[in-house]
Amino acid sequence: MILGGGVGGLVSANKISKILNGKAEITVIDKNPYHEFMASYPWVALGYKEPDDIRRPLSLLSKKNVNFINDEIVEIQPSKNKVITKNSEYEYDFCIVSLGAEVKEDEIPNFSEEAHHSWSLEGSLRLREAIKNFKGGNIVIGIAGAYYRCPPAPYEIAGQVDFFLRIRGVRNKSEITVFHITPGPMSNMGPAISSVISEILSNKGIKFVGNFEPVRIDKENKKVISKDGRELNYDLLIMTPPHKPNSVVAKSELSSPKGLPIVDPSTFRSKNFPNVFIIGDVVNPAINLPPAGVVAHFQAEFVSTQIAAEIKGTYVGDSFSPVAMCIMDFGDDALFPMCEFSKMYLDLSGPPSCGVLARGKEVKLIKMLFEFMWFANYLSK
């Protein structure tokens, strides 16, 4: 039983089906009938892609001998090996929980009326309209809190918006400011990445405001206000929505009273329910891994291997690489950063080891190819 049809769920379903080849009944449950390639949301917001270009129906999994149930999960009962959905209930032998993070716009007052974002398909289309109608002024781009999907995304969006405004001829009438909780752009990942992003932002004339923890959006005066009282005026506000780990998992027996799942970080197996594995954005804040699709991808490969090994009894599969990488598209520039978290996530003995694998607008091609490969491999028509 695989809960969630995002990156973790899709990769797990494919991998288990491939290894066990008919020896297991695999079911994916998700309330969304589509798998959406979230890394391309900014491309939808900027009009480079349409929603149907970046999503496919999860029902296509039937080609891989995987059942798909389009239903909303309302409760997980690991002590009974049971999952309750809005319309039914299901039992399992093994369960992979990959329900991701939830967007909670109402956590910040005035967020839904004032802020735009590209952290959902609907949000991306709304942002597209706002940018289309923008005639000049202050664009402020930032984060609602430290926990949000795809940490580099705000910088990418800033770069893409800058490029778009230059093409439209309104860049000289606009100011773009990025604010973040960290002192420098992605400075929590070390100077190798931070210095390159700072250079790209500076080349584009984008201002960066660090150590800015937003607490309030002043709707009347069009201002974002930080914890230490600083204010940023905006005409267009683009902000990551507040995120929370999935609430169904948070209130289940899989989690601590504070709502964080309890897993063995070396296997992602639930500490109390060994036939349950928890991966992706729902568990990563608890084990010091970033909430990013690429991490969920590698976790999915790893836990699928463990389940297959248990069923087959003899299979030896892949180990888990605690790495993250992505293509950051800045419109007319692109970056391919990577970080390795071995020392950080298992025993907290050292910082992430980060570097830049490539830079230049041609790097964007890798993102395009990856999106193509993603659907071709995991959810082909």
Partner 1 sequence: MVEERKKEVLDRIIELADKLDKNGTLDLLEGISEISTDAITYLTDPRILKIWANIAYLLHILEMIEPTIVSVMGNNLSKHLSEELKPEVFREPPKLGPMGIIKMLNDKDVQVALGFIFLFLKAFGKTITTSGKQLTEMMDMMQKQFELMKQQRKELGI
Residues that bind partner 1 (CB under 8 A): 14-15, 183, 187-188, 190-192, 256, 258, 260, 262-265, 271, 286-288, 297-298, 301, 318, 321-323, 325, 338, 340, 342, 344, 348, 350-351, 353-359, 373, 377-378
Looking at residue 127, what DSSP letter applies? H
Q: Output 192 or 309, the one with its CB closest to partner 1.
A: 192
Rounded to a whole number of angstroms, the minimum distance from the CB of residue 208 to partner 1 is 16
Contact 37, 375 (CB under 8 A): yes
Q: Is the dihedral of CA 122, 32, 102, 299 positive or negative?
A: negative
| CA separation for the pair 303, 52 (Å, rounded) | 30
Question: CA separation (Å) from 26 to 10, 57, 154, 236, 267?
Answer: 11, 17, 36, 45, 21
Contact 122, 45 (CB under 8 A): no
| CA separation for the pair 73, 63 (Å, rounded) | 24
Structure tokens at 111: 């967020």
Angle at alpha carbon of residue 107, lines to 187 and 238, rounded to 5°: 55
| CA separation for the pair 19, 15 (Å, rounded) | 6
| CA separation for the pair 196, 191 (Å, rounded) | 8
Structure tokens at 122: 């609907």
Structure tokens at 123: 């949000």
Angle at alpha carbon of residue 146, lines to 143 and 149, rounded to 5°: 75
| CA separation for the pair 76, 171 (Å, rounded) | 50
| CA separation for the pair 243, 175 (Å, rounded) | 27
380's CB contacts (< 8 A; 6+ apart) are 60, 63
**Alpha helix positions (H), 60-203:** 111-114, 121-132, 153-168, 191-203
Phi (first) and psi of residue 37, to 5 degrees: -85, 90
Looking at residue 264, what DSSP letter applies? E
| CA separation for the pair 188, 265 (Å, rounded) | 21
